[in-house]
């Protein structure tokens, strides 16, 4: 029996292995695949990937052998799920509801809400779009933003590794900023205002820091498991369409 959130996502991958298509496939569609159709796809894939045919088709034998193994694994997993219509793997909505409930219990959320209005008519970041589309709650969005910021390397660390600042420079910046009471001013902005780095170096440091941070969607898919990857992919596409209207 498949019961984990990750295994649900794997079902789509198994489907793609046998049918060779990357179209959006719902769990309901997987549930209704006829065993005969699945077996036919498996037999075809076995013929295409059997390592004994490597010399005939001019392909690498090891790669064909791995593809052959993947096909067998995909068929085994899918047929076991399809033949058991009552498996919890198809209870996606219930599973997500339970995960979101557990999220609140674990985080001790006492006041929260889901957005129910229309999506604002302006460009949005993905975290904002998830919230305004009703896919995540206000607290989820805030926690995700905080989580993402914690994943970023410090500007001082990047500047040190690039040779822009020395350890002494970094300590001096932190000390002087504290002495002036500018705790809320960003390190990079303060260092630039005091001449430790120039405007170009500041932009380069901020760009590097942003490129090294983990995508915010990973908070929902990997850290908390409250949204499946494929649902995120669909929402990202919708966000792009939405944002194109405001270029």
Over residues 22-36, mean pLDDT:
64
Please indicate whether residue 108 or residue 15 has the higher confidence score (pLDDT): 15
Over residues 38-47, mean pLDDT:
85
Residues 6 or more apart from 135 whose CB is under 8 A from it?
Answer: 227, 231, 235
Measure the CA–CA gap between 43 and 140, rounded to whole angstroms.
45
Angle at which helices 138-151 and 92-107 pack, to 10 degrees?
70
Measure the CA–CA gap between 104 and 139, rounded to whole angstroms.
9
Q: Do residues 115 and 141 make contact, with C-beta atoms less than 8 angstroms apart?
A: no
The pTM for the full model equals 0.51
**Which of 158, 150, 153, 156 is closest to 172 using CA atoms?**
156
């Amino acid at each position: 029996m498949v019961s984990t959130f990750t295994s649900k996502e794997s079902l789509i991958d198994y489907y793609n292995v046998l049918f060779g298509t990357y179209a959006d496939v719902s769990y309901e569609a997987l549930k209704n695949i006829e065993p005969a159709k699945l077996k036919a796809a498996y037999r075809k894939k076995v013929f295409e990937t059997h390592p004994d045919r490597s010399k005939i088709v001019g392909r690498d034998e090891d790669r064909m052998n791995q593809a052959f193994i993947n096909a067998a694994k995909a068929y085994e997993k899918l047929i076991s799920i399809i033949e058991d219509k009552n498996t919890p793997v198809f209870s996606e909505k219930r599973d997500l509801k339970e995960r979101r409930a557990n999220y609140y219990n674990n985080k001790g959320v006492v006041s929260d809400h889901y957005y129910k209005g229309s999506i604002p008519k302006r460009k949005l970041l993905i975290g904002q779009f998830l919230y305004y589309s009703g896919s995540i709650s206000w607290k989820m969005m805030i926690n995700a933003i905080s989580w993402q910021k914690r994943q970023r390397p410090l500007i001082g660390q990047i500047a040190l590794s690039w040779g822009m600042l020395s350890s002494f420079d970094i300590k001096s910046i932190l000390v002087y900023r504290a002495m002036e009471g500018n705790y809320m001013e960003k390190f990079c902005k303060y260092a630039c205002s005091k001449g430790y780095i120039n405007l170009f170096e500041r932009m380069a440091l901020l760009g590097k820091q942003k490129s090294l941070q983990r995508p915010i969607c990973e908070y929902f898919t990997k850290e908390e498991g409250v949204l499946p990857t494929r649902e995120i992919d669909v929402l990202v596409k919708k966000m792009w369409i939405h944002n194109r209207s405001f270029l």
